[in-house]
Amino acid sequence: MSIRINVDPANPGQFFACCGLLELADRLWDGAEGSFERDDTSFVVSSSGPSDGFTGLINRAQQAGLVGELSGQLALEREQLERKRRQLKKEGKQLPKNEEQRRKELGKLLREGMIRIGDPFKLRLDWWQEDDEGNPKTWAGSQQVLRIAQAALADAARAFDTEQPFDFSCVMRPIPDQTGNEQATTSVRQGKKKTKDKAEPFYFDSRHGANALPLDIGFSPNELSMESKAFPAVELLCLIGLQRCRPNLTETPLVFEYFTWPIPLPVPTLPAAVSGFFGQAFGYRFENAYRTDQRKHSSYLPATLFRR
């Protein structure tokens, strides 16, 4: 069986989302292969999978669910420490050093901890924890990876009920995680109020990223907590695809490149294909540009075709 999805190869988020699709397909339908066709505007997966195709694949991923490192017990411990810290602060006191260190450790797990996709995929996601300039990460600070990924997964299922899943957009809403923790509903400031009904995207999709730069629009949407639509299927699958496949860092800081491939390839060969090791003549180059004045958060910009 061969199933295809329309793709814009100059959108880095969509390109790596294709890698994520193939990763999931291979884990559910052993032996899946993928390739780009029709001037790179279609991504095709060949496998022995059932006829429900990509829709069935994403539905299975939703059933498998996403689990983070912060278990229910650890989440309760963190909440207790946070509550104690707030009370002591009112009294002009501080947590003991050992408890403050523990609070920070648990907070880091909440924000940056690995994510696991359950059976039958059995996939661990943690690529964002690598600390080097070649890491194509777009977020920092208080953003919670699991919170965003869970919201994207919920809406990705809706996206694959449409004819163009990568073009489906919506405001992503946070959901409680599978342990019932409140980590998926952490509030964001909006003026003088706090809301719990928005999950900021990763900014992998270049259509979203290109409209988020303060230099271009005259202000920072992040600072105003503006609500905007995201592309959940792209956000989720790109996060998955980047676990195995990374763009090449060029000589220019924050500029990366990647290559499509025209022949069906299995998942283990994808890192080499994405890096252009198969001698592809054409590739795509994009910038992971800062989108906030603090230069902590970034977004993928549209890529340009180049010949080497």
Helix (H, G, I), strand (E, B) or coil at 143: coil
Q: What size, in residues, is the chain?
A: 308
- Rounded to an integer, the average pLDDT of 28-34 is 91
- pLDDT-derived band at 176 (thresholds 50, 70, 90) equals low
Q: At what angle do helices 232-244 and 12-28 cross, to 10 degrees?
A: 70
The CB-side HSE value for 48 (13 A sphere, CA atoms) comes to 4
- pLDDT-derived band at 7 (thresholds 50, 70, 90) equals very high
pLDDT tens digit sequence for 202-224:
999 999 866 654 444 444 455 54
Going from the C-alpha of 242 to that of each of 66, 101, 134, 232, 247, the distances in angstroms are: 16, 31, 12, 16, 8
| pTM greater than 0.95 (yes/no) | no
Has residue 283 got a pLDDT over 70?
yes
pLDDT tens digit sequence for 83-113:
999 999 999 999 999 989 888 888 888 878 9
Confidence (pLDDT) at 212 = 53
Phi, psi for residue 170 in degrees, rounded to 5? -165, 165
Classify burial at 164, counting beta carbons within 10 Å of its beta carbon; exposed 0-12, middle 13-18, buried 19 or more.
exposed
In angstroms, the first-to-last Cα distance of the chain is 34
Please state, in angstroms and rounded to a whole number, the distance separating the CA atoms of residues 97 and 99.
5
